[in-house]
Amino acid sequence: MARVYWPYFDPEYENLSSRINPPSVSIDNTTCKECTLVKVDSMNKPGILLEVVQVLTDLDLTISKAYISSDGGWFMDVFHVTDQQGNKVTDSKTVDYIEKVLGPKGYALASQNTWPGKRVGVHSLGDHTSIEIIARDRPGLLSEISAVLADLHFNVVAAEAWTHKRRIACVLYVNDNETSRAVDDPERLSAMEEQLNNVLRGCEQEDEKVARTSLSIGSTHVDRRLHQMLFADKDYEAVTKLDDSASPGLEAKITVEHCEEKGYSVISVSCEDRAKLMFDIVCTLTDMQYIVFHATISSNGPHASQEYFIRHKDGCTLDSVGEKERVVKCLEAAIHRRVSEGWSLELCAKDRVGLLSEVTRILREHGLSVTRAGVTTVGEQAVNVFYVRDASGNPVDVKTIEALRGEIGHSMMINVKNKVPSRRWKEDGQGSSGGGWAKTSFFFGNLLEKLLP
């Protein structure tokens, strides 16, 4: 038999360009009086824009302007950012972190691995077990899920849940009550999955989409995973009277045009500004296999204007009417998923098993439905944020909120806020100083950094 010789490829070859031309990160606090300029220059590669935007948004920095250029082999970005108080980024730890993660020794790319499109996934992450759930939403569902976990002695250390178009996507990080370690007992995990499936099956009686449990491995950014779960669930195709009537002022104007000169499709987005808006749009375009070559982002008061020059990864532009309509629907869904109007409840208490179950049970008993939730644990303190409406999806009565405050307030700290969207920019284009979408962030980027060994 003739011997066959194959050429040898050095496994480090594909990293050679990055080693020869390492990325450069500059934090400029002198050029602009009102914000910090973050300049990133590096070799171009798929998904790099999302990685950079993800780092900045995980630090809860507000991107007021951005200029993106990645045509050819080089990637050059400038971001105008401020902290949550609207000030420049001067904290030395934050500056050092940006330079480290986005610089030559950065390892921000690890979070780009995608998960299979599972309905519910379970996998170990350091000292925690991750659970994914997607199902038809209904009042009290989060309470039932957390009750199952509490009964099985799982402690919820972090979680985030979004609802959109009557669907709920949720990612929870849990550990064992006694050992505070990830649960790897197959029988115990199987029992948990079975009981969660029983809860979810009660949601699907009148829905063609079936919620079920399955195992998965891998990891990804929490917000990105929630987008992926709802995208795979095709929430962008759903049309409900509730959503059409509840928030008429939240509509985004999205257009898709063709740029003949450079051969790009140009996506223009005009909507009310909010935290992480750019991340949600770039995340969706990336997961739809579109590459952003140029972009311009700006905000004027409560109004945001974003323009993206894109092509599909196969080099094609958006030519068919159906493809354009699909992109518009997917971006509209991505913009709306994170939006939460009305009352938000911020609760702080000493962490214990069953805390989330207790709180969500009380919300359910007061006739409240959770539209969005974030749970974090730092040390021995649990911080929970819930956006709530009544069981019919309408704004909650003030008397109900006061009764809730009276019942919960004696055992934990509670901060109640009421935020509604500003509508005036749609009429005069100048924005309004009042209102504004809620900008509460759950700090999951920082949280997961603490959770990982």
- Whether 249 shows a pLDDT value over 50: the answer reads no
Q: Which of 42-51, 118-127, 254-263, 350-359 has the lowest mean pLDDT?
A: 118-127
**pTM summary value:** 0.83
Q: Which of 194-203, 286-295, 328-337, 343-352 has the lowest mean pLDDT?
A: 194-203
Residue 90 buriedness (CB in 10 A; 0-12 / 13-18 / 19+): exposed
- Whether 341 shows a pLDDT value over 80: the answer reads no
For 157, other C-beta atoms within 10 Å of its C-beta total 22
- Whether 24 shows a pLDDT value over 50: the answer reads yes
What is the reported pLDDT for 414? Answer: 86
What is the reported pLDDT for 450? Answer: 41
Residue 236's pLDDT band (cuts 50, 70, 90): very high
Domain boundaries, the chain: 13-112, 129-235+340-419, 253-337
* Interatomic CA distance for residues 72 and 79, integer angstroms: 20
Q: Checking phi first, is residue 86 left (phi over 0); if not, alpha (psi -120 to 50) or beta?
A: left
- Whether 250 shows a pLDDT value over 80: the answer reads no
Residue 439's pLDDT band (cuts 50, 70, 90): very low
| CA–CA–CA angle 290, 247, 302 (5° rounding) | 70
Per-residue pLDDT tens over the stretch 401-433: 899 888 887 778 888 888 655 444 343 444 433
Q: Which residues of 227-260 are buried (b: 16+ CB within 10 A; e: fewer)?
A: bbbbbbbebbeeeeeeeeeeeeebebebebeeee
What backbone torsions phi and psi does residue 418 show, to the nearest 5 degrees? -130, 115
Q: What CATH number was assigned to the domain covering residues 129-235+340-419?
A: 3.30.70.260
- Fold agreement between 13-112 and 253-337: yes
Residue 303 or 205, more confident: 303
- Whether 445 shows a pLDDT value over 80: the answer reads no
- Whether 234 shows a pLDDT value over 50: the answer reads yes
Average confidence (pLDDT) over 81-108: 87
For 347, the 3-state DSSP assignment is: strand
Q: Which of 195, 119, 130 is nearest to 156 (CA)?
A: 130
For the 253-337 domain, the top CATH level (class) is alpha beta
Q: What is the mean pLDDT of the chain?
A: 80
Per-residue pLDDT tens over the stretch 101-115: 998 866 444 433 333
Residue 244 or 353, more confident: 353
For the 13-112 domain, the top CATH level (class) is alpha beta
Residue matched to tokens 């031309």: 21
Q: At what angle do helices 48-58 and 277-287 cross, to 10 degrees?
A: 150
Structure tokens at 415: 């901060």
* Interatomic CA distance for residues 442 and 449, integer angstroms: 13
- Whether 251 shows a pLDDT value over 60: the answer reads yes
Give the distance from CA 16 to its chain's centroid.
33
